[in-house]
Amino acid sequence: MAVFSPQLVLLELQDDALKGQSHSALRPGPVTIDTPLPPETCRAGMPLELEALGDLIGDLLMRDNLINAYVLASLPSEASQWRVVEWPSAEPLPEDPLAALRTLDPPLNLPYPLADACLDVQPLPGLRKRLLLAATPRTVVEAWEEVFNHAGVKLDRLSPAQTCLLAGLEPELKGVAASELVAVVAPGEESSSLLLLKGNVPVFEKTLPPEPGQMAAEFDRCIAFYRRQDPSCRGLKVFLSRPWDQAELPLPPGIPTPAEPFCGGYGSLVLRGLASPLVAA
């Protein structure tokens, strides 16, 4: 008996670009969407040119014969704030931790109230009582939903980039020792970002300068700084969040180049995570 598998599109939204590819039940398709956006199209994760963005997304999916596909999209990373929430050891983890967090409204040092945010809560791999909370202003989520409505496409999922990034990285973290420091570098034209994890838990974030020498020096400073804060760190494993498309650009030691084999055919770790069952629909 034939099993129906809906056609999917994975789409990574960024302030300055769109990246996407089709996906079947078996494997990801080629990256066919890699489109820069004009300045001020989006700012801090908020779409400013809603109709223009909708027209562009609709045109790109029409070009690739994907206009009827279900779209799984990730929000720009700037749109969301994330926190690691540790549930008290003496209390059982509630069946609905999202509802419990809204009720408790703990002090999370967010720039907006929880009541004004869309929340995503995911368990951290191997840590039953530690949760990753990603919060996005409701106005930002509603603006992106309007963009996709204007595009005339079937938006099935709109997930925080941070949730997708960790889901995409999860297969690689299974064999990493709890004491080992993991660095994820997200390369960009204007600047790059660095995320450090220890024991599967995000512990440090920093923006890196674009100039290769400065970037390498800042990378080394960040690693040294965190090791001073946590002397129990042993070893360092470094990953790219997406393929590095400037082959001649010097990189800090230990960063794998190219990153395509690591991403498993996906255009980025975020796109890989979008397709993961770990990211709730």
pLDDT tens, the chain, 281 aa long: 344 457 899 999 999 999 999 998 778 999 999 999 999 999 999 999 999 999 999 999 999 999 999 999 999 999 999 998 888 777 787 888 888 888 888 889 999 999 999 999 888 766 677 888 999 999 999 999 999 999 999 999 999 999 999 999 888 888 888 899 999 888 776 778 899 999 888 999 998 887 777 888 898 899 999 999 999 998 888 888 877 655 444 555 545 444 444 577 899 999 999 998 767 54
**CA–CA distance, 199 with 182 (Å, rounded to integer):** 9
For the chain, which domains are there?
8-77+139-164 (3.30.420.40), 79-134 (no CATH), 176-264 (3.30.420.80)
Q: What is the pLDDT of residue 117?
A: 94
How would you classify the pairing of strands 42-43 and 28-36? unpaired
**In DSSP terms, which residues pair with 238 in a beta bridge?**
183
Q: What does the angle CA 115 – CA 146 – CA 109 come to, to the nearest 5 degrees?
A: 25
Q: What is the pLDDT of residue 248?
A: 42
**In DSSP terms, which residues pair with 185 in a beta bridge?**
194, 240
**In DSSP terms, which residues pair with 20 in a beta bridge?**
11, 33
Q: What is the pLDDT of residue 11?
A: 97
User: What is the b/e burial string over 154-180, where b = at least 16 CB atoms within 10 angstroms of the residue's CB?
Assistant: ebebbbbbbbbbbbbbbeebeebeeeb
User: What is the b/e burial string over 260-281, where b = at least 16 CB atoms within 10 angstroms of the residue's CB?
Assistant: bebbeebbbbbbbbbbeeebee
C-alpha dist (Å) from residue 7 to 75, 149, 168, 220, 248: 21, 18, 20, 43, 37
C-alpha dist (Å) from residue 24 to 95, 142, 276: 32, 28, 12
Closest by alpha carbon to 38, among 11, 60, 16? 16
> HEC profile for 41-93?
CEECCEECCHHHHHHHHHHHHHHCCCCCCEEEEECCHHHCEEEEEECCCCCCC
Residues 6+ apart with CB under 8 A from 138: 116, 117, 118
Q: What is the pLDDT of residue 126?
A: 65
